[in-house]
Amino acid sequence: MYPQRTKTEIVGDLLGAAIEDVYEGLPSGAGRQVGDEPELGGALYEERGERDRFRTLVNKHYRELERQLGNKTPGELYSGSYVVSEKDLKGR
């Protein structure tokens, strides 16, 4: 089906898609208000809750794995600020 991809690459893609589905299904909550964007659905809040915890744990374990592989200054998979709008919170 994908002659240019190895089995490892296909499994990696499937695993990545599954993890993304799990992430999207996690509940998110609102932290402190960081802005107001009517075109995006109202007030914007720092995202807190299970999604925030998931990103924190992923970054922790990613850094550990990278250090084991010899990367002395690993970055993060999830960086920056994540926000959620009032509209998104009401839609869940």
The per-residue b/e assignment along 25-63, b for 16 or more CB within 10 angstroms, e otherwise, is eeebebeeeeeeeeeeebbbbebeeebbebbeeebeeeb
Residue 80's pLDDT is 84
Residue 92's pLDDT is 56
The whole-angstrom separation of Cα 58 and Cα 56 is 6
Query: pLDDT in tens for each of the 92 residues of the chain?
Result: 678 999 999 999 999 999 999 999 999 889 999 988 888 778 899 999 999 999 999 999 999 999 999 999 999 988 888 888 887 777 65
Give the position of tokens 């299970």: 50
List C-alpha distances in Å: 43 to 21, 77, 85. Answer: 26, 27, 6
